Amino acid sequence: MGDFFSLIWTKILDLGDIIREFVGNMVEDFRESNRYFKIKVGLIATYVVVSLLTVVVFLPPGELNDIDARVRLSKTEIIGGRYVLVANEGADPWRDLIVTINGRYSTRYPIVRPGKKKTFFFGRFGDTGGQSPDQDLRVRMIRLDCSEGAFERDYTRGE
């Protein structure tokens, strides 16, 4: 059994030597190459780095969810007050949409078609007594319920 493991270890070391030699040859070839080849390699490397950074940095984290919803909460008051922006990024319409803030204030909307957005101002929400939330309400959670399912976004994470 010991011979088997020593054989495997030898093969791993040989593979490491082969990889090291290959990389060393590539570096030497690069050093010996002309200026234009080095410029091409630099441009390609820059393109790859910029592409990876674009994917990592600029793609929105998104909210992967069953109903393909995107929810944004206004941070400040604008004309009409604070609002919740809801976008249907799925392929199916949402029927009988109910948007709920903090499990207490809710509003309804009959249909949000695929690719469309709908803005819900705080004044449109109400609790069981019909009271609207204050504009300075600290939103902890927004929940969407519709014909396609439900989605809940927790704003307390990261606090």
Which domains, and CATH codes, for the chain? 2-58 (no CATH), 69-154 (2.60.40)
pLDDT exceeds 80 at position 54: no
Q: Is the pLDDT of residue 138 over 80?
A: yes
pLDDT band at 92, cuts 50/70/90?
very high
In the structure encoding, which two tokens stand for residue 112, read together? 């949000």
* Token reading at 106: 């809710």
Report pTM: 0.60
| Structure-token pair, residue 62 | 């998104």
Q: Which of 47-61, 73-87, 107-121, 125-139 has the lowest mean pLDDT?
A: 47-61
Dist. CA 86–CA 121, nearest whole Å: 11
Phi, psi values for residue 146, rounded to 5° = -155, -175
Half-sphere exposure of 83 (CA within 13 A, CB side): 11
3: left (phi over 0), alpha (psi -120 to 50) or beta: alpha
Which residues touch 37 (CB under 8 Å, ≥6 apart)? 30
pLDDT at 60 over 90: no
pLDDT band at 131 (very low <50, low <70, confident <90, very high): very high
Span 31-44, pLDDT tens digits: 888 998 889 888 99
